[in-house]
Chains A and B, each alone.
Chain A
């Protein structure tokens, strides 16, 4: 389940700092969005979701922001920990489909101790 790629953008943060991971999605008709975390050798793990009728949603240490005007999603991780090191994907879903997800290309988060 490892998404290894020479072209993955990488965000390096100090442990304890906040992280912001950005994603541009492709379809203005998409109405549901999910952030996934993928650790080496694992499948995508659900973090948080948001529907298009919202612009912000908070979970435990994570916040997702949605800007439909510019088709932009962000994931904010508070007080980043070493266990947060992984590849993060946004995914979008369009209505009138079978709820298939369209994944972004991912961002690698590295947490420096």
Chain B
């Protein structure tokens, strides 16, 4: 069964450093997403991406964050200058073209980001 893959599984970074989290969505999917989950809290939407541009972003997704689809298979999340509060699990998800009424989003197993 096709799946979303994320690398690395765990990233430890010093505060202020840049990190890039990588994702390979399911190959025939067209919509891509990043979510995060701070320990003990809900999964929160960060950003959606379609047709090489951001469709929607949350308040969390400020100027420190950016996304890119550098080629036909990868989807990346960059945090330019990490803060302690960026420590969380980051999940990538993808869905087929949603159409009317939505389509399931399929999630990767996440990258645990730890900021020291």
Contact = CB atoms under 8 A, between A and B. Distances in A.
Interface of A: 1-7, 31-32, 34, 36, 41-46, 49, 51-53, 89, 91, 93, 97-106
B109 A97 contact: no
Contacts of B35: 101, 103
Contact of B89 (A1, A100, A105): A1
Contact of A97 (B40, B43, B56, B91): B56
B101 to A, nearest CB: 5
Nearest to A1: B110
Given A97-B56, A98-B50, A99-B48, A3 B37 contact: yes
Interface string B56-95: 1010000000000000000000000000000001010001
Interface of B: 4, 6, 31, 33, 35, 37, 39-45, 48, 50, 55-56, 58, 89, 91, 95, 98, 101-110
Nearest to A33: B102
Contacts of A36: 107
A32 B101 contact: yes
A103 B36 CA distance: 11
Contacts of A89: 42-43
B48 A41 contact: no
A1 B48 contact: no
A93 B102 CA distance: 8
Contacts of B31: 98-99
A55 to B, nearest CB: 15
Nearest to B45: A100
B109 A41 contact: yes
7 contacts: A4-B40, A5-B40, A43-B108, A43-B110, A98-B56, A100-B58, A105-B42
